[in-house]
Amino acid sequence: MVTGSSGAGTKFFGPATQTARLMLYGLLAIVLMAMDQRGHYVASVRSQVAYLAEPVYHVMEWPVRAMRNVFGQMQSRRSLRQENTALKEQLLSQQGALQRLATLAEENHRLRALIEGAEGQAFEYQFAELVRVDLDPFSHKVMVDRGSSDGVEAGQAVIDGAGVMGQVEDVLLHFSTIRLISDPNHALPVQINRTGLRTVAFGSGVTGVLKLPSVPRQADIREGDLVVTSGLGDRFPGGYPVATVTAIDRQEGQTFVLVEATPLAALDRGREVLLIDSPAPKVDEQPLPDQLEAGDGEKASGDEQGGQEAEEPESAEVDSLEGEP
Amino acid sequence: MIARRDRPGTFYLTLASAIALTLVYLPPALDVFRPYWVALILIYWCLESQALVNLGKAFIIGLLLDLLGGSLLGLHALSLVILVYLVTRFRARLRFFPPWQQALSVFALLLNDRIILLWIISLRGDPLPSFGFWLPPIVGTLLWPWLFLLLDRVRGAMRRRTSS
């Protein structure tokens, strides 16, 4: 078809054929878009073909990487020293805070174990850097430099230093794309930290705004409230900060209030992110009814859990904590 | 006459640079000004050497752009197919416009393209974009005369090399 129409071919066919071909291609494009939007077929084909795109990203990223290296070399000794001392101070103060947190976490583990709760496990983090390739601004995606060769899997939660960023969507060999929480099709199960009110945060299509459309009118919610992940839905582990509530619109006669929140993570200007390795699915850790009766049963479930996640060092610690008293 | 024909190599080289310019990292403040490079390149080749560009190619280039850029599959394919169709349709007139008038018609083409994109965005249910959405056509128009001269140079150089 391409050879038939190349050359001076189009001239002889006249505008009618040309219009027909426009219609054909236009229709094809619209069908493709609809399929991609609905998530039929196209998504899987796309993730296969994306492997071909990988070399392109490597090439595109190279000059930026080189430039960053050059600037890194040029940074003076003095500024490096200053940065070093500043970072050391920061590390020390955060270590201090962490010490306290560690005891709290242990206490929390113990209490959770008592009530057979499923939350409070430790997660493993994987460091990744954003790839400096600009994807389509309307796609609400970013790319990081870890892929299937580093053990990244689709669906992993992604955070940065301040809060939740999104989740891994397509995994290539050395790259993966992340769908940001600002995507209008992205829904995130959250709760209000102050009151424990559970709801869902939707992206709005604008980087700086999340929408919480299903908060009832009578609900106790204020501006400045911290929104954290609730851990429902099994994708995102609970307790990670997501956003702060910035605007509440209580309209007369409406069942729900319109709540807007600003994401804490630097969605469009961050550089380093963490991929969260979630441990085994939470379903496994639900205690069986007969195990609830005696303390022995509780231990048995703990051991079982340890066996299932042999690579998780944390569950072994929980066991030893339980043995202590 | 045959020796002075454009080689497809030149076309693909400029196309690859346009795709690279689309993907290359820019600070967020500059990112809004990024023109629609691939469209500009396609308009040029469509005007100057129509044998190299047709609707099928435009469609495939658009799909490639969608795959690389992570946008909705078919989005750029649709936009480029319409663009190439319009340029082919009005080619005889556009070719002999003085530069400023040609730049104006390029502006119209790019604006039309943005309107199509806006239509798709609203169909998806995304909120309407901010003012920055309308900047790329303006930047593209301002760049057009210079880009035209540059591409003419490149094309001339490549031609001389092939004929010698």
Under 8 Å between Cβ of A211 and A259: yes
Query: Which sequence spans correspond to the domains of chain A?
Result: 17-74, 76-117, 187-272
Chain A residues whose CB is inside 8 A of the B88 CB are 10, 18
C-alpha closest to that of B16 among B111, B154, B117: B154
Across all residues in chain A, what is the average pLDDT?
75
Give the closest-approach CA distance of A18 to chain B in angstroms: 8
Q: Which CATH number fits domain A187-272: 2.30.29.30, 3.10.50.40, 3.40.309.10, 2.40.10.350?
A: 2.40.10.350
Interface membership of A63 toward B (CB under 8 Å): yes
Which pLDDT value is given to residue A105? 81
Mean pLDDT of B74-95: 91
Instruction: Identify the closest residue of chain B to A41 by CA–CA distance.
Output: B73
Mean pLDDT of A179-195: 87
Query: Which sequence spans correspond to the domains of chain B?
Result: 8-163
Instruction: Identify the closest residue of chain B to A62 by CA–CA distance.
Output: B24
Give the closest-approach CA distance of A146 to chain B in angstroms: 17
Mean pLDDT of B123-141: 83
Under 8 Å between Cβ of A239 and A158: no
Q: Looking at per-residue confidence, does A79 or B129 come out higher?
A: A79
Q: In this model, does residue A46 exceed pLDDT 80?
A: no
Q: In this model, does residue A6 exceed pLDDT 50?
A: no
Q: Looking at per-residue confidence, does A109 or B39 come out higher?
A: B39
Q: Looking at per-residue confidence, does B32 or A261 come out higher?
A: A261
Residues 194-213 of A with CB under 8 A from B: 204-206
Interchain CB distance below 8 Å, B54 and A184: no
Residue B54 burial (CB count, 10 A): 24
Residues 4-43 of A with CB under 8 A from B: 5-8, 10, 15, 18-19, 21-22, 25-26, 28-33, 35-37, 42
Instruction: Identify the closest residue of chain A to B27 by CA–CA distance.
Output: A269
Q: In this model, does residue A312 exceed pLDDT 90?
A: no
Q: In this model, does residue A7 exceed pLDDT 60?
A: no
CA distances (Å), origin B48, targets A50, A237, B73: 33, 57, 29
3-state SS string for chain B: CCCCCCCHHHHHHHHHHHHHHHHECCCHHHHCCCCCHHHHHHHHHHHHCHHHCCHHHHHHHHHHHHHHHCCCCCHHHHHHHHHHHHHHHCHHHHHCCCHHHHHHHHHHHHHHHHHHHHHHHHHHCCCCCCHHHHHHHHHHHHHHHHHHHHHHHHHHHHHHHHHC
Question: CATH code for B8-163?
Answer: 1.10.1760
- Residue A46 tokens read as 């796309």
pLDDT cut 90: percent of chain A above it: 6
Q: In this model, does residue B106 exceed pLDDT 90?
A: yes
- pLDDT tier at A301 (50, 70, 90 boundaries)? very low
Residue B93 burial (CB count, 10 A): 11
B61-79: per-residue pLDDT in tens? 999 998 888 888 888 999 9
Residues 54-83 of B with CB under 8 A from A: 54-59, 62-63, 66-75, 77-78, 81-82
Tokens 């069986």 — which residue?
A288
